[in-house]
Amino acid sequence: MSRGSFVFSSTALRSLEMDEDMLERNKYKKQLSSHHFNSYMLKKEVRERARLRPSTALPVAVCHDVVIQNALYTGDLEAIQQLFPRGATASLIIEPQGGDMRWVATGEGLWSLSYEQELTTPLQITAGRGFVDCLRLLLQRGADVDLAPGGITALHESCENCHTECTKLLLVHGANANAVSEDGLMPLHDCSRPESFGCAKNLLQYGAAINGRTVDENDTPLHVAARNGLPDHVELYLRYGAAVDKKNDQGLTPLNAACSQPQELGDLQRYFKVCQMLLGAGANVHTMDQDKQSPLHMACKNVNADIVDLLLDNGAGVNEMNYGGETPMHNILKVVCYKVPYQPERIVRALLNHGSIRLWPGALPTVLKHCSESPRTIEVLLNDYSQLKVTDTWVESVSSEVFKQHQGFYESVFSLERTPRSLQHLARCKVRKFLEGRPLHEVIPKLDLPTFIKNYLLLEYRGYVH
């Protein structure tokens, strides 16, 4: 052994291997604080840093003046012109009075209830409220464009509040497009609403990192846009070279993020367009998160029928199981009762026509109990069986209110206790059984049969079972 060297013990080697991921993360955090990415002052450090500035530099003043604060918060340009004349500094720390109460440690294990103070600057106030003229004046008066006493810059504020003109003005005056906030976000990560598209476009034109990661979750801007259902942002980011299959700390790609986000009825088409763009850019339809949930699992859980059709058309595995042993069919059936207006029957029908494994017949009464408010879902499920053992348990599984609302349908179901399935239905089951193993949604439309028979074979809704 040469001098100046030593032997690692086996314990030390194992420890080094276990710390590899942590070292990589720390390396990334150091990169964020390099000359490419600014780290900003925390609230406690503001006054200390001001005291440490060289005597030739003007210290950053802390302002408690209510008149100045009122002028800034109301966007009173005339008052701001008087309060910040030529030669006056506009680089101020604003410490508003009041706010929410919180417990603060005072030392020696004691805590006191005091007002939470949010440090801010004139630029942050005006940029966050869209006061373009006031912001321009302050910048002309030499305000520090990247000053961030509260942990965020004015650029973060303007992007979060979707003020395109303010964002552009700040960037023109040298704002750092890759500034990292106290929460580990860059301004591009704050573009999370449809109205922020102009901000995102300006940021990218001024050098924002298209694949920059958040410190806590490792999200890229594409993750943020996909999760919030922003098709215009997604298209823009892909055009700028966004990585389509990057995973965050939860194992989610942008496609997974879009599919897993709960969606209101009015937002379904936006999320569909996002997924369409991601798949068109080559997103992997089989990528699973930490719980082995595929995009199809997630789309079924959120009952977006258009996305389910899209994923299935792009080769999604209809019978892939998550860590709990559940397939996409399990996910959709668990939420039918909460999502009846979302047309869950479309998803159940699509899954069956793409080869989903059928439910164990003994579980049908339980499914009937939880999904009875969607008779079309029940119809599709039952029409995939050639025979059913209908008992009193089935009748008890449907509440009297639901029965009255859909009486004709449930009478047809309960009548199967005394009547066998029709010959027409048995023929349908025979054909589907014969074609088992092949994609029914592709094979059946090619058969030389009338359209109404093809639709019947593909479990078209009729409002009754027979």
Q: What is the pLDDT of residues 83-105, one digit of tens each?
A: 888 877 788 888 776 555 555 55
CA proximity to 342, closest of 257, 256, 226, 264: 264
Average pLDDT over residues 57-84: 84
Average pLDDT over residues 379-403: 94
Q: What is the pLDDT of residues 341-353, one digit of tens each?
A: 999 999 999 999 9
Q: What is the pLDDT of residues 275-303, one digit of tens each?
A: 999 999 999 999 999 999 999 999 999 99
Q: Where are the domains of the chain?
A: 37-101+115-209, 373-466
Domain spanning 37-101+115-209, CATH class: mainly alpha
How confident is the model at residue 150, as a pLDDT?
Answer: 84
Q: With a cut of 80, say whether residue 18 has pLDDT above it.
A: no
Structure pTM? Answer: 0.81
Q: With a cut of 90, say whether residue 30 has pLDDT above it.
A: no
Q: With a cut of 80, say whether residue 398 has pLDDT above it.
A: yes
Q: With a cut of 50, say whether residue 81 has pLDDT above it.
A: yes
Q: What angle do CA 34, 36, 38 make, to 5 degrees?
A: 65
Compute the distance between CA of residue 316 and CA of residue 284 in angstroms, rounded to an integer. Answer: 9
Token representation of residue 136: 């321009």
